[in-house]
Amino acid sequence: MRALTYTEYGDPSTLSVGDAPMPKAAPGAVVIRVERVSVNPVDWKVMSGGLDGLIETIFPVIPGWDVAGVVESVGPDTPEFTPGDRVASYGRTDIIHGGTYAEFVALPATSVAAIPDGVDVDAAAGLPLVGLTALRSLETLELTADDTLLIHAASGGVGYLAAQLARAIGATVIGTASAQNHEKLTAIGVTPVAYGEGLVERVREVAPDGVSAVADFVGGVREDTLALLADGGRHVSIADPSVEEVGGHWVWVRPDGARLSSLLEKVAAGALRVEIDRTFALADTGQAFEVSMAGAANGKLLIDVTR
């Protein structure tokens, strides 16, 4: 099969397209014919060796954890799916080796969700990692309608979905973003504030008594978070493990087909929107990584593996 691989840690220049072994449908697993892959910052962080101390790596590596496509085959004891089903997954496994930037990928059925009618393949591919991260962050915060939530990087991939989910709960949401994205946040009921120096004062203008919850999706904002939290407030971060030293939670997303299914149903119902920036061919993945590394995307970057 055709796949994108790298044989050593490095930058996007280490990527190449070639042949790779066809994955097998083990018991309880499905083989997915890949149509779209979503680019996430973790993809190029893994490629650079950034998670070498955390997750075992076996070269050559096919990168990628997000996927949307069609079930090609199923292993024994996999009654949930049949060939031809449209599916999506956050496909992180315990070993970095056979990822989703390929024509086919094998994943545990427990991490796979059916794509509902009315949800296109682009939205389905762009949702898994960011959507599940957003959901897990809000669950960890035990967010309720009585909360005022500050989201750092509210217009980003995770933040934009977390903002929508928090508003659906009924929480008041304040979100940091660059000025060009303020209208985008206002449209979903979020009060936007500019990030950077003076953030604490700007948030205090909106919430004089501080906020009851903070979700950090960018890192480097721990002191601002602590300055804005009201007594008894809760905070999480996906980017700064040091928050655990000051009463916060460092959140890592888990593969979860059932939770992904619930998010896809929200997309189908029009209650959750996945923004897509642009789509690249598989051979142009290096360019997509460079755009992601530069922070130059406004929405999800996708890879069309069929071209």
DSSP character string of 174-222? EEEE-GGGHHHHHTTT-EEEE-STTHHHHHHHH-TT-EEEEEESSSS-H
Q: Of 275, 273, 277, 283, nearest to 296 (Cα)? A: 277
Are 204 and 148 within 8 A, CB to CB?
no
Average pLDDT, integer, range 139-167: 97
Strand partners, 211: 229
Q: How confident is the model at residue 68 (pLDDT cuts 50, 70, 90)?
A: very high
Full-model pTM:
0.96
- List Cα–Cα distances, 27 to 30, 37, 255, in angstroms: 9, 24, 18
Q: Which of 295, 256, 288 is nearest to 127 (CA)?
A: 256
Phi, psi of 251 (to 5 degrees): -100, 130
The pLDDT value given to residue 267: 98
Single out the residue of 8, 12, 5 nearest to residue 294, CA to CA: 12
pLDDT, mean of residues 83-97? 96
What pLDDT does residue 82 have? 98
Unique residue bearing structure tokens 């939205």: 123
Whether residue 81 contacts residue 110, with contact meaning beta carbons closer than 8 Å, is answered with no
Number of H helices, E strands in the chain: 9, 17
What pLDDT, on the 0 to 100 scale, is given for residue 92? 95
3-class SS shares of the chain: helix, strand, coil, % to 5? 30, 30, 35
**And the tokens for 302?**
């996708």
- Average pLDDT over the chain reads 97
Q: pLDDT (tens digit, 9 = 90+) per residue, 197-226?
A: 999 999 999 999 999 999 999 999 999 999
Cα 162 to Cα 30, 135, 202, 267, distances in angstroms: 29, 7, 21, 13
- What mean pLDDT do residues 69-73 have? 98
Domains of the chain as residue ranges with CATH: 2-127+274-304 (3.90.180.10), 130-250 (3.40.50.720)
pLDDT of 153 above 90: yes
| 81 secondary structure, DSSP code | -
Residue 128 banded pLDDT, cuts 50, 70, 90: very high
Q: Residue 42 has which token pair?
A: 């973790």
pLDDT exceeds cutoff 90 at 296: no
List, for residues 281-294, the tens digit of each pLDDT value: 999 999 999 999 99
Phi, psi at 98, each rounded to 5°:
-105, 85
pLDDT band at 49 (very low <50, low <70, confident <90, very high): very high
Q: Is 299 helix (H, G, I), strand (E, B) or coil?
A: coil
Give residue 5's identity as a one-letter amino acid code: T
CA distance 133 to 85: 25
Contact (Cβ atoms closer than 8 angstroms) between residue 130 and residue 300: yes
- Take residue 294 and report the two structure tokens written for it: 């530069």
In this prediction, residues 264-287 reach a mean pLDDT of 97
